[in-house]
Every structure is written in C-alpha cells, then in structure tokens.
A and B are shown apart, each in its own frame.
Chain A
Amino acid sequence: MSDITITINGIECKAKEGEYILNIARRNNIFIPAICYLTGCSPTLACRICLVEADGKRVYSCNAKAKDGMQVITDNEEIAKERRAIMEVYDVNHPLQCGVCDQSGECELQNYTLYMGVDKQHYAIRDTKRESVTWGPIHYDAGLCIVCERCITVCKDMIGDAALKTVPRGGDKLSKELKEEMPKDAYAMWNKLQKSIIGPTAKSGTLECSECGECIAVCPVGALVSTDFQYTSNAWELRRIPAANPHSCDCSLLYYEVKHTSVNNPKEKIYRVTNDFHYTALNGAARFGYDFQNEVERKDEEAFKKAVDFIREKADTIKFNSFITNEEALILQKLREKFGFKLINEDAKAYQDFMENYSKITGKKHYSGSLKKIKESNFVICMATAVRYDSPNTGYAINNAVTMNKGAGLYFHPIDDQIVNGYAKNMVTIAHEAGAEEYVLAFVLKKFAKDMPKELKDILDKVSDEKINEYLNLPEDFDKTLTKMLAKKDKFSFVIGADAYTHPKAKNLAKLAGAVERYTDFDVVVIPSQTNTLGVSLICDLGEHEGENVLGYNEKGDFTLSALGDGDLDMPALNQQEGTFTNIDKRVVPTNAALEYKGYCLNDIANALGLNRELTIDYTKELPQNSGYVPLEFDLMPNFFDNGGNELRGYILEEKEAKESIDFDEISKIEKIEGQLVYKSNPINQFSPFTNKAHQLNEEPSLYVSKEFLESLGVKEGEKVLVEGEEGSIEIKTKVDIQAVGNIPYLPTFDPSLNLNAIFPSKYRFAKVSIKKV
C-alpha cells in the first residue's frame, strides 16, 4: 500500500492506494452525503447518493478506489439532480409520522431531505402493505424502512450473525416511462427498493440472533428501534454521556442517554445506550444492560463506620472481582501496601499468572495484538475461548477480518460454533477434545514457527502428528485445506482465551502462547475474562489464599461492600462512577458517571483510612508506570473517534520489557473425558450479576442447551434437570440457546447463588457431569 495524493474539490488529500474516496473525504472533513455505507463494512450501493465525479466519470465514492492524482468533484448540477431525485424517491410513501417516530431529530432521511431541499414530490407509486414486527428486544417497522440494508451489512460484516436479509416486498413495478424521465441512478435505486424489504434469514421466520442490537444503532430511520425504548422519549431530550462498556473487556465507547424519569420524578434515568456505529460496535450487554445502578437514598454513616472499623481492626483479606475501575484497583493496592492485606481476585490472578509466564518467553510485559490488529489481519486463529460468549467484540473483530480482508481463520474449541463457522467460507471450526489446548498450540507452532530455540523444538518433536490429529479431530486432508487457506495471507492474528488460563497446565500454555508471539508472525491477544481483568492484573499484587476476615468488594465476604445493593455497605455501580478501564486493546479508556450516586464510594473509605485524595480520579495519574501506565490526568483524556475513525480514547499502555527465561514443560498426554461434559460460560449478553440486574437482560440461570441436545435429554424447554458433578449436584431449568449446536451444554456464572463449585471442582471450564431428567 503506497501513499498517494488525490484532489477532492480542489483540496489535496493524502491517502493509501486502494482506499475508498468516501473514507478519504471524511478523514479530510469533506462532506459527501451517503446513507447506506458503513465504515468498516462492505459497500452495498443501495442508496447511490454518494455519487461523485472522479476524473470526469461518475462513480460511487463508497466503493471507488482512489488512484494517484485523481481529481474528484463531490457536487455539480448533474449530481445534485440525481441526489435530489433519490431523496424524493425515498420520500415516496414514507409515512408522515415524524411527530411520533423515535428517530425524529436524528433521522438521516429527515436530514438529507432537508439538505437536498426536497420541497416538492414528482414521483408516486402504489404503496405496499408492510407489517411491523417485534423480534424480542428489536422492533421492526417495515413501513418506515428505506431498505438501505445497513442492518444486513452490519450483521454480516461486523457482527457475524448474518441474521437479516432482503426478502421480496411485492411492490408494484415501475412504469417504463419513468426510466426515460428520471435521473438514471434514482431510477436504479428505486427499482431495487420496490423489490425488497428486510426479513430474518432463519427458516422459522423470526429473528434468530445474538441480540446485540447493532442493527438498531445503524438504522438511519425509525424502522429498527429498541422495543423497550419505543415511544418513551424524543432523541433531543436525552443528554449523552460518553462512557465505556462496563460489562466486557472491550470497554467500547458508548453513550448513556439520560433524562428525568417522569414528570413527577426528576431523578435521572438512563433511557438507552447509543454508539458511534461507524467505528465501534457494541455487544448486547452494553446496549441493553445499562440500568444496573445501585440506588442509594443517603449516606449510611453507621454502615460506613462499621466498614472502616472492620478494615482497620479485623480484615486481613480483600476479595474482589474485575468489574472495577483502574482507580479502585489502585486504591485496593494502596490499602494492601499500607495495611498488608491479601488481595484475592481469582479471575485476575489466573490472568496475571498466565501473562507472567507468557512474558518470560516474549520478553515483553504485554501481548502484541489488539482488536484493531485483528480487524486488519487476514488470517486469524482463535482458541481456548467460546469467543462469541466470552468477548463478543473479539468475535466481531474476527468476523470483520475474515469477511472484509478475504481472510481465513481457524477456531479451536471443544464446542463447535456454527455462527463462527459461518463468518466466511474459509473459517474452519475444529471441535477438539476438552483439555487438548496444549496440542492446539503445538499444532500452531509446528505449522508456523520459525527460528525456534532448541528447547521448544525438542518438546514439539515429541508431539506426534497422530496425537495431534487424534486430540484435535482435524478434518481429513486438513493440510491441504490449510495450505489453500494460507494462500496470499500476510497479516496474522492469534486469539487465546479464558480456557487457557484456567487450564490445569496454564503455565505451559502461557509459555507456548508466548512462543506463538515470539516465533511466528502472529500478533497475539489474550482475552481478559472480565471488564478490567487486564487492569487489575497490572495494578494489584494478588494473593492466592484468603485469610480469616475477608472484606468482600462485590464478592461475598465477612463484611461486604457491594454495588449490587446486597452487601453491608453500598458502593456505586460502574455507571455511577468515573474512572478508567484497561481494555483488551491495552488501552486505558475513561468512563463517566451517568447517574448520581448519593452514598459512599471506595475513595471515602480510603480517605477514612488515611489515603487522602479528594476524588477517585485523582488516582488516575498515579497508576503504576512500571506496568506501562502514563501519568496523565483523568480530565485530560480524550474520549472520541475522529472523522477518520482514529480512536482517540485515553492512551495505549507503553510496552515494558520483562525478564526472559526460555524453558518449556513437556506436552503431556491427556485423558480423553468420556461421557457428558458441561462448560462454564455465560449466555451471550450476560457477563455478571450486573448484566443480570438490568431489566432487559434479567433472567433465571439455566442450563443452556442446543435444540438437539434438549431433544436427546427428552425434556421440554423450561423443565428442570439434575446436573450431577463430582462434588455435588444442582437442579436447574433448561433453556435453549438457539445458536448453539452439539452436546455440551453450559452453566452460567452471572448468578452467584448458583453453586458452581460443586460442578466444577477445578478452575478449568469443562467438567464431567451426568444430566438427568427430574
């Protein structure tokens, strides 16, 4: 990709060869109207409004690639005529219900109609009856739909569900005279529009998807709206508060939109969550799980005093999870330094240990990859994670990479995933034996590693191809397939997830993963399991065994501080706090408080114990620099995407050297687990008790099964089954995960009252069980 220069409206613009004109113009703040194009997705040419003149020829700027020295004019009389005709066509039969439409005020049809100055209609056609339907949290009003196909595009190219398609509209044919009378592109666009409308791809006729709601975000009109939000507020009444996704490790930029609750309740309430859909996609938890705030009426002085006394006199351990900000993690770490507490965080500890061993091989503190790098790559390997469940945004990045870059990918996981398989033709899912993660890494290293040290070579040599085949269940002729898949591939990404760092042999897996980064072309991402797992692992010195008097922070302890409202002292939830997270991209991103919190926060406790900072965010500049943090004030952190799509949010952690020590353990044989397995995973859109507190996501924990597995169990959905593990059993309802396949069901962790320790005796996410009908 060489650098070129093109001229748009007389302004010289630098670009890379092969870039689309529209993207270059946007980056240089030149406005070209466009409706159907989504940055980062493939152009659909549905709207044709981005028409420009390049070197005297009419082209569509969303799919015309720039060439060196190109002269582009974005507007002339002829183009203006086309655009106006297109807008007139879009307005034909569009219901005049702006007064009640949820999109009014931020509607692209409204905006462009006014922008093109459409004050008179020249065209008409008989309308077709178009019914509106409700697909769970998504409401589709076909009457308002302008079939720009943005929802279809984003679902296919970004999310990967491909749950939407165009279906026949049954509209009247355009009369032949129009072809001569009308501007050419307007006619072509109308001709297509009259033929199609949006519908689900599933045979059942209803929408079967992961319910991320990205289609709602991208819809330029009010056709796709959130069922819950519909008709509750006008867009302009809502105040937007930029924040970061508090539920999962991508910490994507989102906006909480708040307004007073009602006429007689002035207390602010979050009405919905929106995002800059051109540059970032949100998962369903972020979009629908926003109202998890902890409502506290006043400061509970008594409980606060008890908390301070408990910490000062009794506590020897602080137990917490990674749904906290960097600043809170630093406060806990400072308390540890001052009072000598043990900090217990199982999730971050596993991650920290993994990264420590990983760094021993790479010699660097952080992994090299990021979601952006995944999106740019054209060969992706994903292992040890049910990626769409653990980190949906990583799944989006993989899907985006393989669909947009003509890429290919491998997905190794004991549970097959048909949706991942459907990302692209060259995406191969391999359901290997549970526990065989070492063999996956051995396979990858054998295939891709160059200049390996002798220690690694020796170990790999001991792993026979037969064993790899046996444990990984590779399809026939896989070598050939892989060679085909690797043709013309030059950018490689590797994703490894929570199955690896909870694995009994996590230490060796970490080293092998480190070897993947060091000795192959792959950029590696190690998915943090919770929102700020990476941050906590970089900030806190974590211990392993808890002491006698435990202070729990969002975890059960002898004295519990809880943002869920079920503890001894209330704490603010993540939508009531400002602070920063360290996300999967190793980026420190700021988040802001959307709602007021009237109680005490962790900083108040720290102050009572003598740490003395006025605000929690005073700790932002004190984050440990030896882990790569930069001494930057919270208020100086930017939090937006610019017109070129550059992410200007917080900062990226600086790379730090780590102590190298290259040695590997033997890759041992594994015992194939015969019989029924169960996996520890939350359903899509659930991550924690916080997501489950949100009214749109709240559900009873169930045993999530595929349709076929439910049939083989001989129970109906909703009926209870007995799951017997090695150390106990639980009786639990069954629920069908429509996207799941195979015979391994999963149990969720979002409800702490569910005793999973009985089923999963070790930390590893697979366990052997027997499942019986009750």
Chain B
Amino acid sequence: MDLTNYNNRDISKDYRYVKVDPIPTTPWEKFKRVVKRTFSCELFVGLWIVFREMIKFNIHTVQYPAEKLPISPRYRAIHKLLRLMESGNERCIGCGLCEKICIANCIRMDTKIDENSRKAVTEYTINFGRCIFCGYCAEVCPELAIVHGGDYENASEQRAHFALKEDMLTPIDIFKAGKQKEFPGFGALSKNADENVKKTPLAY
C-alpha cells in the first residue's frame, strides 16, 4: 500500500470555520430559540437531504462486509507469523525477545533443539485475552517474524482460535502463491536503514 496519503498529516488547507450561534443564557433567549427551531422546519431540511440522496441512489456508505475500507499499515490487529521470503522457512528463531518485552505477559513459546542442532520453535501462543496490542513484540522482533496483521474481524467463539502458532503462521499454500505481504508497520526497516549500518571490517 502506498503510504504517501498517510505520511502527509497536514490537512490545514481544507479547514473552514462553521458559524455557531451564541448559546442562550436567559430563559427568554432559550424560548426564542425553541420557537425559531420549531417553525423554521429544520427537520424537513434534513429529511429532504436524505430523500434526495435516496432517489439519486448515490450511496456513500461502505457495503460491509462485501466491501472493506483499506486499513493503515500502522493498525495493530491480530498477529501473524511470517515465513522467510525465499525458503519459506519460519522466520521465528525463538529468541524470546517478544516474550520478554510483552508488557501484558501474554506471549509464550516452546523451543527445543531439532535434529539439525538448530533451535526450533515448537509452539508459539499469544493470549489475546490479555494482549493490549501495543506492538512491542513486532517492534522488538529481530527477524520481523511476529507482526501485526490487518484482520480486524476477530469475532469467534473463543479468542484462542487466533492464538496458536498454526493460526498465526502464513499457510504454506498462501506463501507459495506469493500472497504473504511484507509488514510495513512497527519494527519494519526504516527507509534509511542502510545509512545506520556501521561496517565491520572483514579479513577476506
């Protein structure tokens, strides 16, 4: 998604001031306002606008759920675990930093040594009953493995339905179809990331 619209936060040029009548203080002024509002038929002005739009069939509301508004990449919805771009392996290395930084203390993971002597994450859960969606986990993750997704439809019989590793990890078929999206929000590389790298000398 293009971020230009979001990066430009200056909306002052579209400002205009609405004329507001002074608030009545004395009982006489209050009475005058009631009479004015009652007999100037303001109600019918509103009804007319609704009626006019209705017969024009010019509908401004979004046809949810058939239609959805695009959502800001900074929005922090239910988490996702991503896979590595080329190999499709899980990005999560089990470093446990998200577990440590989580201020709601709702992340847990099980790790073990696998047959290739690598650290394998056998289970990863977030307790969404506790999660406050602060985004620290995504921000601290050195591999950009745990990220926030954009799915805000979190109605289910149980919160646990989103909480396990298998629910969060990009399914392999979706990954193979190239539909895993890179996360641009919290913790993602900044545009000038390269400038911040200090080079380490190499003896090769």
Contacts and interface: CB of A to CB of B under 8 A. Distances in A.
Interface stretch (A115-123, A535-543, A589-597): A115-123
A231 B123 contact: no
B119 interface: yes
B95 A234 contact: yes
Nearest to A230: B113
Interface string A215-257: 0000000000000001111101100000000000000000000
B203 A124 contact: yes
A126 interface: yes
A125 interface: yes
A264 B163 CA distance: 12
Q: Report, as a range, how many residues of chain A touch the other chain.
A: 20 to 34
A271 to B, nearest CB: 11
A10 interface: no
B89 to A, nearest CB: 14
Contacts of A234: 95-96, 99-100
Interface centre among B99, B108, B118 (most CB of A within 10 A): B108
A104 B110 CA distance: 17
A608 interface: no
Interface string A144-181: 00000000000000000000000000001000000000
Given A124-B200, A126-B204, A232 B111 contact: yes
B114 to A, nearest CB: 8
Given A124-B202, A126-B203, A232 B96 contact: no
Interface residues of B, number: 28
A262 interface: yes
A774 interface: no
Contact of B123 (A104, A233, A236, A263): A263
A233 B109 CA distance: 9
B46 interface: no
B204 A233 contact: no
Nearest to B94: A100
B112 A231 contact: yes
A121 B200 contact: yes
B93 interface: yes
B142 interface: yes
A100 B96 CA distance: 9
B95 A98 contact: yes
Contacts of A14: none
A99 interface: yes
Given A124-B203, A126-B204, A263-B123, A104 B112 contact: no
B109 A263 contact: yes
A237 B94 CA distance: 12
A260 interface: yes
Interface in B81-124: 93-97, 99-100, 108-113, 117-120, 123-124
Interface string B129-172: 00000000000001100000000000000000000000000000
B198 interface: yes
Contacts of A126: 203-204
Interface string A517-548: 00000000000000000000000000000000
Contacts of A104: 95
Contact of A263 (B97, B118, B125): B125
A149 B97 CA distance: 30
Contact of B201 (A121, A172, A232): A121
A143 to B, nearest CB: 12
A100 B201 contact: no
A262 B201 CA distance: 42
Contacts of B100: 234, 236-237
Contact of A120 (B94, B95, B198, B202): B198
A415 B132 CA distance: 66
A231 B203 contact: no
A662 B112 CA distance: 63
Contacts of A233: 111
A48 B89 CA distance: 43
Nearest to A227: B113
B76 to A, nearest CB: 23
A132 B93 CA distance: 20
B99 to A, nearest CB: 6
The 8 A-B pairs of least Cβ separation, nearest first, read A99-B95, A234-B96, A124-B201, A100-B119, A124-B203, A231-B113, A263-B123, A231-B119
17 contacts: A104-B95, A120-B198, A121-B200, A123-B201, A124-B202, A124-B203, A231-B111, A231-B112, A233-B111, A236-B96, A237-B99, A262-B110, A262-B123, A263-B109, A263-B110, A263-B124, A264-B123
Given A100-B95, A132-B117, A231-B119, 13 more contacts: A100-B94, A100-B119, A119-B198, A120-B198, A121-B198, A124-B201, A124-B202, A125-B203, A231-B113, A262-B110, A263-B110, A263-B123, A264-B123
